[in-house]
Structure 1
Amino acid sequence: MDQVRDLASKNAAVIFTKSSCCMCHSIKTLFYELGASPAIHELDREANGREMEWALRGLGCNPTVPAVFIGGKWVGSAKDVLSLHLDGSLKQMLMEAKAIWF
C-alpha cells in the first residue's frame, strides 16, 4: 500500500490502469484532451501489479481501475472522474494541483 501512496503522490495527476480496460483508455484520453500528462501505471504490465491492485482495493478503489489521484489525493474511478468533468470541477482540480495551466 505504501508503494501505491508513494506513486500517487509523485505527480500532479496519476492514473492506475490496465492496458485492456476501455474505461481506462477513455479516462487517459480525457486527461490528455484537458492538457494534462498524468503518470500512468498499467497494473497488468507492472511486475508487482497484482499487489498494487490489492493495495488500491484496500484504499477503497472499487473498481480498482481506473484509479485516479490528483494532487496525491484519491479522486475516484471513471464514474467519479466523468461526473467531476461534467460539472466543471475536474479541470479546476487539475489546475490547483498544477497538472494543467490556464
Structure 2
Amino acid sequence: MQGVSCQPFPSGSDPAAVGRRSVAALTIDGGEAPEKRIERLIREHPVLIFSRRGCCMCHVMRRLLAAVGAHPTVIELEEAEEAAAILAAGGIPALFVGGVAVGGIEGLMGLHLSGRLVPRLREVGALRG
C-alpha cells in the first residue's frame, strides 16, 4: 500500500523528542482491502493514531501521550486511504486506545482531564505500573 507508514516511538523515548520523526518506517502490503487493513491495525496496536503528514493536532496528541509515558503507533495516511479511517473513527487525526475509538484531540483531552486516560492506558498495556 503506497503512502502508509508506521512510526512507533521507542520505549523510554524523551517526550521532547516526540516532535521529531522516527527513522524506522514500516510499509504495509497493499493486498488487503483498506477497511480490513484499518480494522487489523486498530486491533494490533494498543495506542494508535491515524494522521496526515504534518498534522499539528497529531503532534499535540503524541506529545500528551508521551508526557504520560505512552508511545503511540502513528500511521500517516494518504488521501486515498483516509476514507476508511475516517469512517472507522469519525475524522483525522483519529486516536484508538485498546481498539476503541477515542476520537481526535478533543476526545484525548477529555479523557486526560477527567483522569481516565492513564488508567485506560494501563488497562490496555500501554503503560507499566
Pick 1 or 2: higher relative contact order, CA cutoff 8 A, min separation 6.
Answer: 1
Tell me the TM-score normalised to structure 1 length.
Answer: 0.85
The Cα RMSD (Å) is: 1.3
Q: After the TM superposition, which parts of structure 1 deviate over 2 Å for at least 4 consecutive aligned residues?
A: 49-52
CA offsets, 1:31-69, max 9 Å, x none? 1111111111011xxxxx3343101222241xx221001
Q: How far off is 1:75 after superposition?
A: 1.3
Q: Which residue in 1 is equivalent to 2:83? A: 54
Matched positions, count:
95
Give, in whole Å, the separation in 1 of the partners of 2:81 and 2:105. Answer: 18
1:78 is aligned to 2:112: no
Give, in whole Å, the separation in 1 of the partners of 2:49 and 2:121. Answer: 13
- Residues 92, 25 of structure 1: alpha-carbon distance in 2 compared, 3 angstrom cutoff: same
1:89 is aligned to 2:116: yes
Instruction: Answer 1 or 2: which has greater helix percent.
Output: 1
Give the unaligned 5+ runs of structure 2: 1-34
Larger Rg: 2
- Residues 20, 9 of structure 1: alpha-carbon distance in 2 compared, 3 angstrom cutoff: same
1:4 aligned residue (38, 42, 49): 38
- The letter of the residue matching 1:76 is G
Alignment of 1:2-81 (within 5 A): 2-43=36-77, 49-61=78-90, 64-81=91-108
Percent identity over the alignment is 33
Q: Which residue in 2 is equivalent to 1:46? A: none
Give the unaligned 5+ runs of structure 1: 44-48
CA offsets, 1:71-93, max 9 Å, x none? 11111111111111011101111
